[in-house]
Structure 1
Amino acid sequence: MAASTRRSVITGIGVLSAVGTNPATFWENLSAGRTGIKRIQHVDPEQLPFRVAAYISDFDAKKQIDKKMRKALNVMARTVQLGVVAAQLAMENAKMGEGQLDPARFGIEFGASMIASDLDDIARASKISTNCKPGFVDYEIWGAQGLSQIPPLWMLKYLPNMPACHVSIQHNAQGPNNTMTASDVAGILALGEAFRISERGTADFFLVGATESKMNPLSLSRHATFQQLSRKFEHPEKVLRPFDQGRDGTVMGEGAGVLGLEDLEHATKRGAKIYAELLGFASGFDRKKDGEVLGKIILKALKEARVSPEEIDHVNAHGIGTPSADIMEARGIANVFGTKTPVVAYKPNFGTMGAAGGLVELTASILALENGLLPPTLNCENQDPACPIHIHKEGLRPVTKPHFVKISFTDMGQVAVAVLKKPE
């Protein structure tokens, strides 16, 4: 089969994060080196082993969502609301009005994770079913009395495919539709799948998004159990320290990133603003977690993009801030780029967003291309010798080359890499 001649470009940006809920504010705060990591206030964190998180203090879906969707807010968890609002913002940013798209060629690709239930929805059922023996669930009571106390539409609030469903309904997108539930790589995987479908010529425009909020009390307690979170919370702005010798864990965050991915010819015909072009994508599994396979996946994405390592302006790293993960990532990057190509990591600005992180971080690099300046990595003050890469740490660095690489991976070893280019 002949190689596709179709090209995919970014024509819309919707971003919600702890440092900005529109591209202008998001860019301003990244450029100024500000962080959205702060002490948790919406719940009492004293029983948790950490006290800080990166959350959006002023998010109110009722004030931002389209009127026709407001009734559906009752069946949207916060994660879903974030995704729906970010998609709406991306459509507005792309100047894609109603009736401009053939619905059958309008696709939706989203990344999401399992969504924790709000306590109010399960509290009564849980209380009834655990009254007899605290700490244990009586399943007979749960079936006879507990289930009836759970809202009938409970499941529709928390299924990870619901962001894609609601976005499709709101914008009458009847084309290809899928949801990736692969944790931290979900957003970049969604971008990659939309890219492949567009190459096959079965869609002209995608809303590619990812969304996650870890601020629910159940999420906070669950992640405190299994995720390596920083315990150094006395100075919130200094907690998350990717590639630094003093790093001890990451910080939870929340947000959503949605991009308009459009066929170049389609975008040109309607006079759309083009932010970047997606040239290459690759994914894989680094079973040994030693960086060797990560490096090979980066090279695979570069090969598809027909770009050499020397042509890359910077690498936008996962940079999660845990001891072992940062070493693995740094080794993989060094295997490809050595110690010359600048590397940045933006989780110190807005936390670890899970599924949403990859696309929000990628958006930072897209805006860097547009503005010609690269914001620094915060808090890498004493770089770990075991991370032999060139971390961009101070000030705004001029963007001197047209390409960048975005890396995302999970603690299980799943990897996704994208290569993008500044528009000509």
Structure 2
Amino acid sequence: MFDNLTDKLDKAFHILKGHGKITDVNVADTLKEVRRALLDADVNFKIAKEFTNKVKEKAIGENVLTNLQPGQLMVKIVKDELTELMGGDVAGVNLSGNPSVILMSGLQGSGKTTFSGKLANFLKTKKNKNPLLVACDVYRPAAINQLHVVGEQIGVEVYSEPENKNPVEIAQNAIKHAKANGFNVVIVDTAGRLAVDEEMMNEIANVHKAIQPQETLFVVDAMTGQDAVNTAKAFNDRLNFDGVVLTKLDGDTRGGAAISIKSVVNKPIKFIGTGEKMEAIDVFYPSRMADRILGMGDVVSLVERAQEQYNEEEARKLQKKIAKNEFGFDDFLTQIQQIKKMGNMKDLVGMIPGANKALKDVEIEDDAFKHIEAIIHSMTPEERSKPAIIDGKRKTRIAKGSGTKVEQVNQLMKQFDQMSKMMKMMQGGAGKNLMRMMGGGMKGMR
């Protein structure tokens, strides 16, 4: 996410390295590179210029603090201004109303249908809501079927009228159905449309007027860059939507849309999509995104994701097993499964401060654990619970059964042994604090 922009900003800040004070000359050179980095990321020229002017105003004449170098001070100023540019505070979704009605809008191919499912799953699992998905895309072939597949995948009912080609009627009937059957959130998935298509824009405006949604979201593909910002403005002029959803942020995103869309339409980014899985949805936090853009990682989000997979009871059981030297490969496999549920590996690595820089040329695959899982699945239950019994003959059988080499089995055994020893050593204060953190002890950091 934003790797290219992060690299260029890092190079820009290096200009100040070794200087004892921020001056007119070195700040001008630095901000010239910052502006160039933003333009390369497809940020609008006017916004990039205004941004660097604000940074310059704050930076000029700043004395270096006792624990800060000029480069670090500049990073802080840029981080604060980036956060402000992207909206400042986190913007929540409006769930007032009974039921709460959320209307999805956007271009064709922006990911509305998939995101509608992700949002329904998010509200169901994180907000304890009972959502109803509504299929109002009456034009795209198989759109209704796609939403039904998504709904079945997440266990959410989908309302559709395959023979009805009037999205206004479908949406109104769906809300009546929701009221009669105890659904407290209605998510209306509409057809993709171009802002220049007057007939289609009138249609969604009519749907909006008829159902009076509490929340209207504009879904946009983050990979379209500045075009996304221009399209958002055209839609906002017609719908006056409440917030933006950026999808496909896990792709080769330059970052222009995320950085500048708020200042153009004056509407907050509320959610981001970070992968294909139904769980790959995050609330948009401007300050955390600024940290990630500047290569600082996002530890708070990483901890929050870990909290969703771990609880205190599991942590206590794990501690007891480690203390009794009973930590086996089944436990290890459980840990892997929990890590995988946290999101795609590249996204997780991006949340660790400095990791992207350290692993710059390392390709991180989403199926990074597949060989380890195959090896563990090829072990007998006894071998998994008592790794010490795995001798040369067993290793040969395990390698053959998992389609790997004996060397790979040996490597896993060695890594497992080292990890077990390290976990045993961590049974003191640091280890217990870590377990508490995974079990929810850091909720105060939210």
Asked if TM exceeds 0.5, the reply is no
Question: Computing the radius of gyration over CA atoms, which structure comes out larger, 1 or 2?
Answer: 2
- Greater strand percent: which structure? 1
More helix by share: 2
Q: Which has the higher contact order (CA 8 A, sep 6+)?
A: 1
TM-score, normalised via structure 1 length:
0.25
Normalised to the residue count of structure 2, the TM-score between the two structures is 0.24
